[in-house]
Chains A and B, each alone.
Chain A
């Protein structure tokens, strides 16, 4: 059983500020049913539109997600929007007397929802916001939960994270198929050590035959083992020019995120073989 503080338990059992604000000035929504937690935050501002006079929430999630949402609304009520933007996920966790590390992503979700609400209110367009994650600027690293490198770098920096496991606890990234764990490690190295991004050595010129061999190699060594780990698999159907046709097998077949997985395969092949590779999922 989780070692929740009394404050977490209390805010879970008696959450403050639950519900909707019908005439809310700002609404921030993060997470989804698929991810296992989601938060919709409503803000009501004073007449001068600078200060938060009321905040309410609706949360789908575990006890700590509900408690974090409740804590967030208590913290920001009475603050100006600029003051609210300074609220960190650590502050939410501290308000609750701490969260188990595995649950820190709940506090991060609260902070995100707040950012999204304010950004939307101020007209700051959220690039590519797709209801999964607000900070979609950047490249998607974790395809299971739709999390980008920019967002990860921000959380790694703000929370001083050193291991891929910590990053998973704080953001969920890497907690699904695990395929992005090596990439997360690179990001940690980049943020903490300021080291440049590692580039894979790609052959300069490829004959068609060599290219086909290389594609097969990458699929066998870099891609399929990661899919197996999650009970999935793929088969190579054909290679025509830069187009690689694959068919998903086992757990991947009919999986809701097979589109994400196809993009992951494409990313890997581009990384190791050539930039013009396109992966196409075909019917098996």
Chain B
């Protein structure tokens, strides 16, 4: 066991923790938008931490590039996917949670009476 092994194991454990949180959040949270939040973000952080941990266990230039590319793609595709799904859900009229306090998008749509 050297320092890198310990660091790698820790990163993977923390990453898996966030992925599990995302999975539980997907079931427990109140509406589509909060669930999307949980899945796209917590899962992104989790995957990137697991990738970092994998790099610590197998440090080489090759894995540096592979892990770097995978993390880069994850960071750039996850928010775009979340944005597209959130927008589609809103346009399809998916209901907001009853606790929701503001909907300034709805106010804006009513003001112009056009589609966003």
A binds B: no
Residues of chain B touching chain A, judged by Cβ–Cβ distance below 8 Å, are none
Chain A interfacial positions (CB closer than 8 Å to B): none
